[in-house]
Amino acid sequence: MTATDPGPGPRRAAVVTGGSRGLGAVVARLLAGEGFDLVVIAREPGPLWETVKSLRSFGGRVVEISGDVTDPELRARVRAAVDRFGGLDLLVNNASELGASPLPPLAEYPIEQLERVYRVNVIAPVALVQSLLPALTRRHGLIVNISSDAAVGGYPGWGAYGASKAALDLVSVTLSHELEGVGVAAVSVDPGDMRTRMQQAAFPGQDISNRPLPDATLPFWAWLLGQPVGEINGHRYRAQADHWGASA
Amino acid sequence: MNRTAFDFDRPRELEATAPPELRGVERDRVRLLVTGPAGTTHRSFRALPELLEPGDLLVVNESGTLPASLPAQGDAGTILLNICTEYGGGVWLAEPRWNVRSPGPIPLAPGARLSAGGVTFHAIGPFPGIERLWFFRADGDVTAAMRTFGQPIRYGYVSQPYPLETYQTVFARVPGSSEMPSAGRPFTSGLVRALLRRGVGTAPVVLHAGVSSLEGEPAGTEIPPIYPEPFDVPPETARRVNVTRAAGHRVVAVGTTVVRALETAWDGTAVVARRGFTRLTLGPGRRFHSVDGLISGLHDPRTSHLALLFAFAGEERVRAAYAEAVRERYLWHEFGDSHLIWGARAH
């Protein structure tokens, strides 16, 4: 190291969709604490602003973008923000659409809402990857797609959401193969049952207070972010499992 | 788990306050309580080879102890920062405390900074459900800071500091534990050779043990969640565990850390090579698939270790053994006596 050395390398940067509340806010908070620069995306400006304010207390740069992840114009804004950071180390596709509530069986599922579920849960993550791939490539970044146990469960009522998450799981595995050559990794994470707005919407009127708060997954995220991306690439993790590792 | 279900009386004076060597007792001459279906007997640890059969396998933890207790400066003044677990990417779980005797809590806000051994620790947030442990981002080489400025973690019942060697087992090969995996402490190289002559081999796993700091636990009725710890069960150890049991011999875990590592590596059919972080909780109702016997220190009331022991050997058998240990004035904690206990289903 010399006297003219600019010091440590570029600050790490991350994009979190659905980052104003619940799981997304837990992940964004950890990232801010770990010193990441952040782009946080959420639909409702009010809660987003509150979250971003607390993230800024860690001292890093935080850009808030309110809007819908299915909107191409929003993606252009995200890309511009990321380009100002100089690259992207982490993309967390967390924003998800539950669909109709209470959860109707597939045979009666309103088709427009089914399409919306797929647009948010499958198409938008792929579109964000396309848009941010140059920035991810520059930093050998990691794509994290938030999945669900419904992706493998076949639970009645969870057909639309579950099938969209199953599709997203296959997106993750496919990306892990297709992008290996450019050093970009992809994983799926099933966060497990949590006490969130989405859970409440899935079970309207029911008491969900026995479920853990989303911050129960914090140790998992701290672990995941500490792994060499080559060792986790292509894996599907359960954040509340008994163990996490390369073979899990 | 409700803590009161794992309560018993253990007089304060049965805490080992110094290494047995300083009491004139060699490491492998601590006492060994032996508990099996026929009840409990009293031996010297050195008699272990007689208590095992040719073909039995000891699985040991090769994790070495770090000098993980660092003096630290922050807004609260000079405190201790006891490093618990390395998460990678510069992120560490650690326990800030006032000193060896007083656990805290230390008033700390997300974004606050502590300086320890020339490294700046940026507070991220508390571990969910264990408020005394915080995640930190470290700017600097924490391992080097520990090597230069750290001491082995110590609690109030140990009256003075001892050098790091006091806290290493004969099996230590991979540094990474905040606190000594103490079940291995009574072993000596001579005893390991005697075991080999007896036909009893050893196979390694690694589980880096974090902080225990029992006095810092909340007064609540629940045992706090187990936090994840790094572990590694290598292929050769997995194979030998399976072969040993298939041949009708017994696998004896040296320490609850080993039980947790092996049970985490159980895939439903066999023990397989596996590494990562484990937060497996082994409590009431759990069936064990990889281990027939356990060598371990004596555990404190109301702890997850005791819950594991109850599940492993049966509450009645463990309570009877512990009553016997108190009556016979066995010593507790890392410098204390030892316990060989056979599982409820061991032959």
What mean pLDDT is predicted for residues B220-248?
91
pLDDT tens-digit readout, B256-289: 999 999 999 999 999 999 999 999 989 888 899 9
Per residue in B50-75, pLDDT (tens digit) is: 999 999 999 999 999 999 999 999 99
Q: What is the pLDDT of residue B220?
A: 62
Arithmetic mean of pLDDT, B207-232: 79
Instruction: Delimit the domains of chain B by residue range.
Output: 3-65+163-342, 69-149
CB contact under 8 A, B228 and A215: no
Average pLDDT over residues B81-106: 95
Q: Which of B87, B89, B278 faces A243 most closely, judged by CB atoms?
A: B278
Mean pLDDT of chain B: 93
Closest residue of chain A to B129, computed from CA coordinates:
A216
C-alpha distance across the termini of chain A, in Å? 39
- Measure CB to CB from residue A243 to each of B89, B91, B279 and give the nearest one: B279
Per CB-CB distance under 8 Å, the chain A contacts of B275 are 245-247
Among B196-200, B220-224, B338-342, the minimum mean pLDDT is found in B220-224
What would the mean pLDDT of B104-110 be, rounded to a whole number?
A: 90
Cα B75 to Cα B71: distance, rounded to the nearest angstrom:
14
Whole-model pTM over 0.90: yes
Does position A5 have pLDDT exceeding 70, yes or no? no
- Mean pLDDT to the nearest integer, B70-95: 96
Confidence of residue B105 (pLDDT cuts 50, 70, 90): confident
Extended beta strands in A34-106, E state: 37-42, 62-66, 90-93
The pLDDT, as a whole number, for residue B215 is: 52
Average of per-residue pLDDT across B138-148 = 97
Rounded to a whole number of angstroms, the distance from the CA of A188 to the nearest CA of chain B is 17
Catalytic residues of A: 161
**Using the beta-carbon criterion (under 8 Å), do B111 and A57 form an inter-chain contact?**
yes
CATH number of A13-238: 3.40.50.720
Instruction: Categorize the per-residue pLDDT at B216 as very low, low, confident or very high, splitting at 50, 70 and 90.
Output: very low
B300 pLDDT band, cuts 50/70/90, is: confident
- In chain A, the percentage of residues whose pLDDT exceeds 70 is 95
- pLDDT interval class at A6 (50, 70, 90): very low
Per-residue pLDDT reduced to its tens digit, B11-42: 889 999 999 999 899 999 999 999 998 899 99
Distance CA A34, CA A17 (A): 18
In this predicted structure, what is the pLDDT of residue A4? 37
- Rounded mean pLDDT of A212-239? 96
The whole-number pLDDT of residue A106 equals 97
**Whole-number percent of chain B with pLDDT over 70:** 96
pLDDT at residue number B90: 96
Cβ pairs A/B, distance under 8 A: 90
The answer to whether residue A2 scores a pLDDT higher than 70 is no
Provide the pLDDT confidence category of residue A248 given band limits of 50, 70 and 90.
very low
Helix, strand, coil: what percent of chain A each, to 5?
Answer: 50, 15, 40
Query: Phi and psi dihedrals of B270, rounded to 5?
Result: -155, 165
CB A180 within 8 A of CB A158: no
Q: Which of A223, A243, A245 sits opposite B87 (nearest CB)?
A: A223
- The answer to whether residue B125 scores a pLDDT higher than 80 is yes
Q: Do A219 and B227 make contact, defined as CB atoms within 8 angstroms?
A: yes
The DSSP bridge partners found for residue B135 are B93, B125
pLDDT of residue A142: 98
Rounded to an integer, the average pLDDT of B335-342 is: 97
**CA gap B124, A221 in Å, rounded:** 13
Would you tell me how many other CB atoms lie within 10 Å of the CB of residue B220?
Answer: 9
According to CATH, the superfamily of the domain at B3-65+163-342 is: QueA-like (3.40.1780.10)
Tell me if A233 sits within 8 A of A141, measured CB to CB. Answer: no
Which residues of chain B have a CB within 8 Å of the CB of A215? 128
**pLDDT tens, residue by residue, A101-130:** 999 999 999 999 999 999 999 999 999 999
- Residues B69 and B99: their CA atoms lie apart, in Å, by 10
Amino acid symbol at B17: T
- Sort out which chain B residues have CB atoms less than 8 A from A139's CB and list them: none
pLDDT value of position A215: 95
Q: What is the pLDDT of residue A246?
A: 73
Tokens (6 digits) for A214 = 């989303």
Instruction: Determine whether the interchain pair B129/A227 forms a contact, defined as Cβ–Cβ distance below 8 Å.
Output: no
**Element at B57 (helix H, strand E):** strand B57-61
| Span A22-70, pLDDT tens digits | 999 999 999 999 999 999 999 999 999 999 999 999 999 999 999 999 9
Q: Which residues does A contribute to its contact with B (CB < 8 Å)? A: 29-30, 33-35, 57-59, 212-213, 215-216, 218-219, 222-223, 225-227, 242-248
> What is the pLDDT of chain A when averaged over all its residues?
94
Q: Which residue has the tokens 């390991």?
A: B192
Sign of CA dihedral A68, A72, A78, A81: negative
CA A35 to chain centre: 18
pLDDT of res. A1: 31
Nearest in space to A141 (alpha carbons), one of A225, A23, A235: A225
Nearest CA in chain B to A229: B89
Q: What are the residues of chain B with a beta carbon less than 8 Å away from any beta carbon of chain A?
A: 86-91, 93, 110-111, 122-125, 127-129, 135, 137, 227-228, 231, 264, 272-281
- Spell out which residues of chain B touch residue A59, defining contact as CB-CB under 8 Å: 111
